[in-house]
Amino acid sequence: MASMEPLLEVRGLRVCFGPADRPARAVDGVSFRVDAGETVALVGESGCGKSVTALSLARLVPEPPGWYAGGEIRFVGTDLMRLRPAGLRGVRGREIAYVFQEPADALNPLFTIGAQVMEAIRLHRPDEEAQSIAASLLEKVGLPAPEALMRAYPHQLSGGMQQRAMIAMALACRPRLLVADEPTTALDVTIQAEIMDLLQNLQAELGMAILLITHNLGIVARIAQRVYVMYAGRIVESGPVRNVLDHPAHPYTRALLDAVPRLTGSRARVSGIAGSVPDPADWPAGCRFHPRCPRAQALCRERLPAVEEAGPGRSVACHFWRDA
């Protein structure tokens, strides 16, 4: 509903790394929103700033070398950029929870799965309930024999099971927003699909919103309602998923779609996009995509395109999107 306040509204977020006189402007004026209960995808090539954007939401970018150069992160009406550390601790993991690509980054090898899930639960529930809640969470994420699993150590689980355990931990506090950063990239294709189905089912059951970061446009088409396309620290296009994927307005989105592996006869063909993402300490002048853009003209080398409305719920930052 248009009148509803978004769950999360990020405006003009800027995150830099390194020295102030030559900053790497990894996230450079990013604005987006996530409504309660929806799945929003953030896509773009490696190095475009997706993870830095995601980590910034709960102010998890390591400072230094990172530093916040501006912007607002409104979460249920509060600007997280202005919260003190104690306030932020109340948000991290409880209101905004994360699932990362590598379960190994989230699971401690020295503690049992049960101990780790229970620790997450104890943040907000009485001690005596933790054990039974942990077991039911493990069951909810589709892990067999949860009681036995509670006593297992991470290395005794397969990659897919570790990923499920990490999701159980992320869900322990019933977050309103789950940020899933390439949650299945390290897994094989069958397990990927299972984990994605799991996330979708949990979302329907728990009513949380998901911000999904992925390279996989097939997954985006399947589970997200809206998508933001990020290039070189900025959002270049956004809108309803079907709409954007069927009729991309930005040449970068089109290039991403063209780069999706296709089956031609028996051979898989991956074209990729010619060239590479520039260095955040040295973004090109004008439109940052112009050195790689087949449609670039003089204006593109000179002026950064503004974000324009391009139909219902759609936006695009390209001087020539109308000519597409």
Q: In the complex, which residues of this chain contact Mg ion (CB under 5 A)? A: 51
46 binds, among Mg ion, ligand ATP, none (CB under 5 to 8 A by kind): ligand ATP
Q: Does 56 bind ligand ATP (CB under 6 A)?
A: no
Q: Is 102 left (phi over 0), alpha (psi -120 to 50) or beta?
A: beta
CA–CA separation, 96 vs 60, rounded Å? 11
Q: How far is the CB of 230 from Mg ion (least distance, A)?
A: 10
239 binds, among Mg ion, ligand ATP, none (CB under 5 to 8 A by kind): none
Give the nearest residue (CB) to Mg ion: 51
Stretch that binds ligand ATP, among 41-49, 70-78, 235-243, 293-301 (CB under 6 A): 41-49
Token pair of 109 as six digits: 């090898």
CA–CA separation, 323 vs 218, rounded Å? 27
Candidate residues 50, 140, 164, 250; the one interacting with ligand ATP per rule CB under 6 A: 50
Q: What is the DSSP letter of 283?
A: P
Looking at beta carbons only, is 282 or 323 nearer to ligand ATP? 282
Place of tokens 């999107």: 321
CA–CA separation, 23 vs 130, rounded Å? 45
CA–CA separation, 263 vs 67, rounded Å? 43
Looking at beta carbons only, is 41 or 157 nearer to ligand ATP? 41
Query: CA torsion 284→290→291→292, rounded to 10°?
Result: 130
Query: Is the CB of residue 188 less than 8 Å from the CB of residue 163?
Result: no
CA atoms within 13 A on the CB side of 323: 7
Antiparallel, parallel or unpaired: β 78-79 and 308-309: unpaired
Query: CA torsion 243→248→249→251, rounded to 10°?
Result: 170
Looking at beta carbons only, is 116 or 253 nearer to ligand ATP? 253
Q: How far is the CB of 23 from ligand ATP (least distance, A)?
A: 10
Number of residues lying near ligand ATP (CB under 6 A): 15
Contact residues for 125 (Cβ-Cβ < 8 A; gap 6+): 133
Question: Which residue blocks in 141-215 are alpha helix, DSSP H?
Answer: 146-150, 159-171, 189-206
Stretch that binds ligand ATP, among 50-58, 89-97, 161-169, 304-312 (CB under 6 A): 50-58
Cis bond leading into 64, ω under 30°? yes
The binding track of 265-304 with respect to ligand ATP, each residue x by CB under 6 A or -, is ---------------x------------------------
234 binds, among ligand ATP, Mg ion, none (CB under 5 to 8 A by kind): none
116 binds, among ligand ATP, Mg ion, none (CB under 5 to 8 A by kind): none
Cis bond leading into 65, ω under 30°? yes
CA–CA separation, 66 vs 173, rounded Å? 28
Stretch that binds ligand ATP, among 61-69, 108-116, 166-174, 236-244 (CB under 6 A): 61-69
Q: Does 49 bind ligand ATP (CB under 6 A)?
A: yes
25 binds, among ligand ATP, Mg ion, none (CB under 5 to 8 A by kind): none
Candidate residues 5, 19, 63, 65; the one interacting with ligand ATP per rule CB under 6 A: 65
Looking at beta carbons only, is 150 or 231 nearer to ligand ATP? 231
154 binds, among ligand ATP, Mg ion, none (CB under 5 to 8 A by kind): none
Binding site for ligand ATP (CB under 6 A): 17, 24, 26, 44, 46-52, 62, 65-66, 280
